[in-house]
Amino acid sequence: MRAVIASAIALLAAFSSAQGLGPGEPAPPIKVAEFVKGKAVTDLSKGVFVVEFWATWCGPCIQSIPHISSLAKKHEGKVTVIGVSVWEQGDDISALVKKFVEGQGDKMSYNVARDEGMTMAETWMQAAGQRGIPASFIIKDGVVQWIGHPMNMDEPLEQVVNGTFDLAASKAAFAAERAVTAKADAFTAAIEQGAELYRGGDREAGRAQIMNADSGGDPQMDMQRTMTLLELYMDGEPLRFRRTVNEMFESGPEGRSNLAFFCLNASQTPGANKEMIGKIAARIANHTGDADPFSLYFAGLALLECDNAAGAVKALERSVTMLKGMDLPAELIEEINNALKMAREKAAAAS
């Protein structure tokens, strides 16, 4: 019964959080601490506006700045762009934001403000269910038209400017997106409540809560369920743990990749059973069947944590070989090569 009640509470909470700001709704007021660049804009009632939320510590936000500037230049005289810094950290946020904006120079060629406490973060971002930045809002004559990532803003902004934007379709798409988010929130809440029951000693009720959480067949949510059970079983039920490990291993490259990632996280936990974790990671690393370079990468890192540098070298060398020729970010390739270098150094020191 407790599991059923918990699931109902989770669904209600997720549904409630899904209500609020969206396309077709009046735009909240612009209430910021100060404008650090450009002109102060507070009236959104006439014209087209972009309100974009970012932070000085946010890498994707920084990468989006030149694109936003190019859109501001393209629609100059037709669109007013306002970048609002939110969720900043530090003792002197004003100085932090001003220094960053000055450093951007012409790359950040639009109006820039910083939030007044959490005002804009709450009345815009939280109200619209936006949890990550950068996030952009397109407004026309005081009404929200579109909400999304600034890198996806070109087409909707163009349509809003030329009067061909389909607001009804935007509302429907946003509602569908929020419904998916609400379902995922309900699932996560049910999983977390089940884990709490399990850790509190009621393993049967906790396990039932987790197993009965409705994923709708979503593979990522189903994997979240499995990873949660794996974590719980590792310390509580060794037989179930071994069975779950075997099921993940035999499920294919993706299952082994997730299992390797679990090993990496588990190996970094204080008091971890590194002998057992190391054996699982070595099994993944030594698998000669259908292999995934990322499962080998995670397994290699886990083996490093478990003081098996020689095994880590073998796994990481296989990963590097398989990744050659793949179109991957330079930062990721560098990260993997650095891990291999570290493993080789540790293996050499141990020999």
- Whole-prediction pTM: 0.66
Instruction: Quote the CA–CA distance of 28 and 173 in Å, as a whole number.
Output: 21
Q: How far is CA 135 from the centre of its chain?
A: 13
Distance of CA 150 to the CA centre of its chain: 16
Place of tokens 């959080």: 17
pLDDT of residue 8: 36
Residue 218 contacts by C-beta under 8 Å, 6 or more apart in sequence?
Answer: 184, 187
Alpha helices in 23-92 (DSSP H): 59-74
Distances (CA, A) of 279 to 97, 256, 311, 337: 48, 14, 10, 23
The Cα 103–Cα 62 span in angstroms is 12
Q: Which amino acid is at 25?
A: E
Q: What is the pLDDT of residue 11?
A: 36
Locus of tokens 């090993």:
263
Structural domain boundaries of the chain? 31-165, 252-351
Token readout for 132 is: 């990550």
Q: Is the peptide bond before 134 cis (omega within 30 degrees of 0)?
A: yes
Which CATH number, 3.40.30.10, 3.40.50.10540, 3.40.50.300, 3.30.460.80, labels domain 31-165? 3.40.30.10
> What pLDDT is attached to residue 1?
35
**Among candidates 108, 145, 119, 118, which has minimal Cα distance to 30?**
119
Q: What is the pLDDT along the chain (351 residues), one digit of tens a residue?
A: 333 334 333 333 333 344 589 999 999 999 999 999 999 999 999 999 999 999 999 999 999 999 999 999 999 999 999 999 999 998 899 999 999 999 999 999 999 999 999 999 999 999 999 989 999 999 999 999 999 999 999 999 999 999 999 999 999 999 999 888 889 999 999 999 999 999 999 999 999 999 999 998 988 899 999 999 999 999 889 999 999 999 999 998 889 999 999 999 999 999 889 999 999 999 999 998 877 888 999 999 999 999 999 999 999 999 999 888 787 777 788 889 999 999 999 999 987
Amino acid letter for position 83: G
Task: Give the amino acid at 105.
Answer: G
